Amino acid sequence: MRLWKYVTLAHGAGGKETSDIIRSLIRGRVPREYWSVEGGTGLDELDDSALIPLGGDRYMAVTIDTYTVKPLRFPGGDLGRLAASGTINDLLMAGARPLAALDGVVVEEGFPMDDLAGILESYISTLTGEGVALIGGDFKVMPKGQLDGVVIASAGIGLVEGKPIRDSEIRPGDKVIVTGYLGDHGAAILAAQRTLGVEFDVKSDVKPLTGLMLPLLERYRHAIHGAGDPTRGGLAMTLNEWAEKTGTVILLEEYRVPVREQVREYAEMLGVDPLSLASEGVAVLAVDGGLAEEVLSFIKSLGYEEAAIVATVHEAKDPRYAGRVVAESVTGGYRIVEPPSGEIVPRIC
């Protein structure tokens, strides 16, 4: 683990540096017996949501994230929609029905009141549009120059009835499904932050995934062994976390990954791997290999036509490759997909 003298923007980008901070400065200082509530999950799993047992086959799912994006309004959404969608989706990835949210809003002195009202309206309408209550929160103002605009911390509470989704249960033979085009959000933010004289009309995919995940959980909960929304660090980080957690090798058929051609070209022009770009309206699912085609067909019937099976989980027969993600190109070549490192896209979510 790399040691740093100062915090850098890379530490908040969702890649290796973020993982270093979590493991060394947070989890490494918490006694193991306090990593989770007895019978639940927390710092031991580091999934999108923690689980607290309620008795029987019922769990409370809890999540929190802090949202900061530049610009605050971007093609396809804004900070409010981003925060609400991210909160809802993190609960869904644990197999939970989202119930309620709480927010912590910090605003810079002098920020236009009309702009703040618009962001908060977007946050609230996104929650309530999915049947999620806003049950409390906090509001603070920082002196001008001590904060850049607005930051929203959003916590979510959900209910799991039945088998929760724990990424540690991913196993050899599972297939990995992505439910739509990858990288749209990251590319849209890149384009909004940088003026390169190139026409780029892709919008962020930011949206809640309740219409996908709740029907999917109702029919195929037993077949879903892992789930994540590939936000900071994109698909590359999600798959690396899964492989490391389970000690498996994930073989990614890179040519099957749905990425818009314009997103791919724009990312390559900037020297960014499209697999590392964030998506805010896509799920990545590890499902039972024997049911993968059936699950994929059901996902497409829900309107997610670009969904695809993109990878297979394998046993690590050689311990040197345990915890690795290997990508196969259309020409049959192979490369190791490393966890993203450095500033992938600053101020993205």
Instruction: Say whether 129 sits in a helix, a strand or coil.
Output: helix
Which pLDDT band holds residue 85 (cuts at 50, 70, 90)?
Answer: very high
Does residue 35 carry a pLDDT above 70? Answer: yes
Find all residues with CB under 8 Å of 164, minimum gap 6, and list them: 41, 51, 59, 61, 94, 95, 96
Two tokens, residue 82: 């981003």
Q: What pLDDT score does 196 carry?
A: 58
Segment 229-255 shows an average pLDDT of: 96
| Integer Cα distance of 233 and 277 in angstroms | 6
Which pLDDT band holds residue 348 (cuts at 50, 70, 90)?
Answer: confident
Instruction: Say whether 7 sits in a helix, a strand or coil.
Output: coil
Residue with tokens 């103002």: 141
CA 324 centroid distance within chain = 19
Find all residues with CB under 8 Å of 189, minimum gap 6, and list them: 69, 70, 74, 204, 278, 345, 347, 348
Q: pLDDT digits over 279-309, tens only?
A: 999 999 999 999 999 999 999 999 999 999 9
- Provide CATH code, domain 46-161: 3.30.1330.10
167-336 topology per CATH: Phosphoribosyl-aminoimidazole Synthetase; Chain A, domain 2 (3.90.650)
Would strands 249-253 and 324-328 be described as parallel, antiparallel, or unpaired?
Answer: parallel
| Integer Cα distance of 120 and 124 in angstroms | 6
Q: Residue 315 pairs with which residues in a beta bridge?
A: none
Mean pLDDT of the chain: 93
Q: How many CB atoms lie within 10 A of CB 144?
A: 10
Two tokens, residue 275: 């697999």
Q: pLDDT digits over 203-225, tens only?
A: 999 999 999 999 999 999 999 99
Q: CA angle, corner 185, sides to 189 and 99, nearest 5?
A: 120
Segment 5-21 shows an average pLDDT of: 79
Q: What pLDDT score does 195 carry?
A: 64
Residue limits of CATH 3.30.1330.10 in the chain: 46-161
Q: Tell which residue, 224, 215, 177, has the closest CA to residue 47.
A: 224
* Single-letter residue type at 231: T
| Integer Cα distance of 263 and 93 in angstroms | 25
| Integer Cα distance of 223 and 289 in angstroms | 9
Q: What pLDDT score does 330 carry?
A: 78
Q: What pLDDT score does 21 carry?
A: 83
| Integer Cα distance of 311 and 252 in angstroms | 4
Q: What pLDDT score does 11 carry?
A: 79
In this predicted model, which residue has the larger pLDDT, 348 or 87? 87
Segment 5-19 shows an average pLDDT of: 78
DSSP assignment, residue 255?
G
Residue limits of CATH 3.90.650.10 in the chain: 167-336
| Integer Cα distance of 184 and 264 in angstroms | 10
- Kindly list the distances between the CA atom of residue 196 and the CA atoms of 33, 192, 199, 269, in Å, as whole numbers in the listed order: 51, 10, 9, 10
Segment 51-59 shows an average pLDDT of: 96
| Integer Cα distance of 209 and 156 in angstroms | 14
Gyration radius of the chain's alpha carbons: 19
Q: pLDDT digits over 113-141, tens only?
A: 999 999 999 999 999 999 999 999 999 99
Phi, psi of 251 (to 5 degrees): -95, 110
